[in-house]
Amino acid sequence: MNKKLNRAYIAQVAKKEICAKIDKHFKGNYHGSEVDRAVALMPKILQEDSQIGISFVKSIVDALNKMIENSKWNSDCGSFMATAEVDPVLKFSSTRIVKEHEIGISNAKFVRTLIKCGYRTVDAYGNESSPEIKEMLINAKSDKELLDLVLTLELGIKAEGIRFPHAGESYNTVIRPAAYYINLLRDRYDMYIKNAVEYLISKGVKQNLEKLAESLVDAAADELKMIPVSGFICTGSELFKMSQGGSDHDTDKHLWLVGSDADMYDGKIHYMVGIKSETATQGLLEANSYAEFIENVFVSGLTDMNVGKYVNKSSLVLEIVGTRGTDIFAKSCNIIRKNLEVKVDMSKQAYQRHFNIRDIHEDECSNDVVIALYEEFLNSNMSDSSILNYFVDILIIAPSLIGHIIDMAKAGPGTAFDPIGEMLKGIHSMRRKQYACIDFNIDDGTLTLSDAIRTGREYLRGEE
């Protein structure tokens, strides 16, 4: 899901790549495929035969998709990927150095990101900096002077964070340089020394308390000074974890969108979906030997449920919901009722929504709750409206449902319930098979790509 997030950027790259390739064909590309040679000989074939035009563009689109999927994020406006490290003072104090909705990166990374995103900063209150402030930053004579200005004015970079593998949510934040937190720790040094002493006493330490406490605080400062270019410091809070799809701060990659990339999330309503640490009522797997443990894990994996399959199902559900109010949605509902072997029965109650876009805690979307939702849905009147409400509920808690699947290996066999099951059988997404259509003007050499022309096909189809 990397660069696909920035549609404007991808459209720009795609147009350049496709125009360059078409231009190459028109100058005499006779060593490519039959289609390449045909287009080189007869450019008007793109206008006269839409199938050849689509086939011609398809290979370029496929190549671009492969390039995009395999590339490392290196956006023109400074977006980057990094691994998470938790606020270092939490080892001995409950008072975080990193506030919620803030992250810290190395000074060098911060300066590079700031320059690439066009010096777009926000102040301590989250308001975008004035043109005058931006001008001051642009006119800085060195990286050091630029960093000093940022620290003096308490500026940060607005960003939106997404974790890979991704489960559906994001985290809005302000990026600050490591120096900001080092200065903050220095200002709070005495307070953190006191907290470290209390921590050591709670652990039974009785001698050299002051010296050991100083070592703990100094180690936290060193950790802030040594943030790797490929990493960032975060709060490590439940909100951060759940907004990042249950991140456990190991090797997970987090994509931080800044500048025009982050603008895509302006106005987004953020919410957190709780993901349980395990889903089995009997507790975690137990074993008397390593061999027995491996066997139990193997047995736990004997299920049709896996993250990839469920993500694909959720994607199709999202696509169906997107067609609400159309004939396609009505046909999809007919297929769903047929698969469930039910009919519309208006004598029964309609299925009512249980979830809205708000923070949802783990006890609200546990495995038992999901099973109860499914049973309530089956006992509803099965109208198109009921199906829509059920699908929206399932989409909202999708991060937690994916967490259930991930935990199956350690929580016992068959503990993750699939609330979609086989009800989508016979409904197929056409999205991946939908190629871009081209409108090529032979006279002036212009190329226009359309991302919405359907060439006689629909995105969703189903057979009753």
Quick one: pLDDT at residue 435?
Answer: 42
Quick one: pLDDT at residue 25?
Answer: 52
Q: Match 């590079």 to its residue by tokens.
A: 112
| Residue 454 and residue 416 share a domain | no
Whether residue 124 is contained in a domain is answered as yes
| Residue 61 and residue 115 share a domain | no
Given pLDDT bands bounded at 50, 70 and 90, which one contains residue 64? low
Residue 326, pLDDT > 90, answer: no
| Residue 205 and residue 92 share a domain | yes
Quick one: pLDDT at residue 325?
Answer: 86
Region 94-105: mean pLDDT is: 94
Convert the pLDDT of each residue in 135-190 to its tens digit: 999 999 999 999 999 999 999 999 998 876 555 578 899 999 999 999 999 999 99
Whether residue 243 is contained in a domain is answered as yes
Whether residue 177 is contained in a domain is answered as yes
Alpha carbon separation from 131 to 76, 114, 152 (Å, rounded): 21, 15, 17
Whether residue 27 is contained in a domain is answered as yes
Residue 196, pLDDT > 50, answer: yes
Nearest Cα residue to 266 out of 132, 133, 78, 126: 126
Whether residue 183 is contained in a domain is answered as yes
Instruction: For the beta carbon of residue 391, count every other beta carbon within 10 angstroms.
Output: 24
DSSP structural state of residue 38: H
Percent of the chain's residues with pLDDT above 70: 67
Task: Please tell me the distance from the alpha carbon of residue 288 to that of residue 342, in angstroms, as a whole number.
Answer: 47
| Residue 440 and residue 413 share a domain | no
Does residue 279 contact residue 416 with C-beta atoms inside 8 Å? Answer: yes
Beta strands in 190-241 (DSSP E): 231-234
Task: Please tell me the distance from the alpha carbon of residue 401 to that of residue 391, in angstroms, as a whole number.
Answer: 13
| Residue 230 and residue 364 share a domain | no
| Residue 148 and residue 59 share a domain | no
Task: Please tell me the distance from the alpha carbon of residue 24 to that of residue 36, in angstroms, as a whole number.
Answer: 10
Quick one: pLDDT at residue 440?
Answer: 45
Nearest Cα residue to 13 out of 56, 52, 53, 71: 71
Q: What is the extent of the structural domain holding 145?
A: 80-265
Phi/psi for 461 (5° steps) reads -140, 160
Q: Match 């590309």 to its residue by tokens.
A: 29
Whether residue 277 is contained in a domain is answered as no
The strand pairing partners of 333, in sequence order, are none
| Residue 256 and residue 373 share a domain | no
Domain boundary among 265, 280, 314: 265
Quick one: pLDDT at residue 55?
Answer: 65
Helices vs strands, H then E, count in the chain: 19, 10
Domain boundary among 265, 300, 322: 265
| Residue 362 and residue 339 share a domain | yes
Task: Please tell me the distance from the alpha carbon of residue 262 to that of residue 216, in angstroms, as a whole number.
Answer: 36
Region 363-367: mean pLDDT is: 78
The count of structural domains within the chain is 3
Query: Residue 372 half-sphere exposure, CB side, CA atoms within 13 Å?
Result: 7
Whether residue 278 is contained in a domain is answered as no
Residue 31, pLDDT > 90, answer: no
| Residue 363 and residue 306 share a domain | yes
Given pLDDT bands bounded at 50, 70 and 90, which one contains residue 377? very high
| Residue 406 and residue 331 share a domain | yes
Convert the pLDDT of each residue in 75-92 to its tens digit: 577 888 888 889 999 999
Alpha carbon separation from 424 to 55, 65, 321, 338 (Å, rounded): 30, 27, 13, 10
Alpha carbon separation from 386 to 77, 271, 351, 464 (Å, rounded): 43, 24, 5, 20
Convert the pLDDT of each residue in 225-246 to its tens digit: 999 888 999 998 888 887 876 6
Quick one: pLDDT at residue 15?
Answer: 64
Does residue 400 contact residue 302 with C-beta atoms inside 8 Å? Answer: no
Q: Match 């009722």 to its residue by tokens.
A: 337
| Residue 308 and residue 198 share a domain | no
Convert the pLDDT of each residue in 388-434 to its tens digit: 999 988 888 887 787 777 666 555 555 678 899 889 988 877 655 44
DSSP structural state of residue 360: B
| Residue 294 and residue 181 share a domain | no
Task: Please tell me the distance from the alpha carbon of residue 19 to that of residue 21, in angstroms, as a whole number.
Answer: 5
